[in-house]
Amino acid sequence: MAQRLTINGDVFELYLSEHQIQERVRELAYQINNDYVGKVPIFIGVLNGAFIFLADLIREITVDCEIDFFKLSSYGDAKISSGQVRLLKDLNCQVKGRDIIVVEDIIDSGLSISYIKQLIEREHPASLRIVSLLLKKGLPKIDFTIDYVGFEIPPDFVIGYGLDYAQKVRNLRQIYKLVPQSTEQ
């Protein structure tokens, strides 16, 4: 497993190994399994970034469950958020009266998750919880709790395990973080 990667001239260093990620995913699933005994939650993945996390997570889920997806666009090909969220694909399932678990890869500014929360609450679910593999520290813009968090991380740009850099490197099994220019060797 490479300790460092260079992509488009930017240097990334290994941050979370495959083993660390898989272990944490199992722990999150364990909590969710306990919390949803006797229920049939709908896991709603936020495309594209969450597809790998969702796939790993639900294979550890032991309660009956359903899956659906939103597709949002906010980053384009940049490393910082455009500050705008667009809905590119809506849900197909009926949310009303159901137990919903939104699955995110990462929460950065909180803009996307706030937008999704609003969309879902409009449809009157029985309950709504959020699971995010990563949560960037110092989160400014949300006034609600993220119910299940895999890892709290510094506000650096990260890639791999579903997270892209200009649509690439989603297929990495590990998560890498951008090395700030000043500390590059």
The site that binds ligand IMP (CB under 6 A) totals a number of residues, namely 19
String of DSSP letters for the chain: --SEEEETTEEEEEEE-HHHHHHHHHHHHHHHHHHTTT---EEEEEETTTHHHHHHHHTT--S--EEEEEEEE--TTSSS--S--EEEE---S--TT-EEEEEEEEESSSHHHHHHHHHHHTT--SEEEEEEEEEESS--S--S--SEEEEEE-S--EEBTTB-BTTB-TT-SSEEEEPPGGG--
**Candidate list 106, 146, 172, 175; residue touching ligand IMP; CB under 6 A:** 106
Contact between 157 and ligand IMP per CB under 6 A: yes
Contact between 49 and ligand IMP per CB under 6 A: yes
Contact between 174 and ligand IMP per CB under 6 A: no
Which residues, numbered 22-51, are part of the site for Mg ion (CB under 5 A)?
46, 49
Q: How far is the CB of 163 from Mg ion (least distance, A)?
A: 8
Using the minimum distance from each CB to ligand IMP, give the nearer residue, 32 or 175: 175
Binding site for Mg ion (CB under 5 A): 46, 49, 105
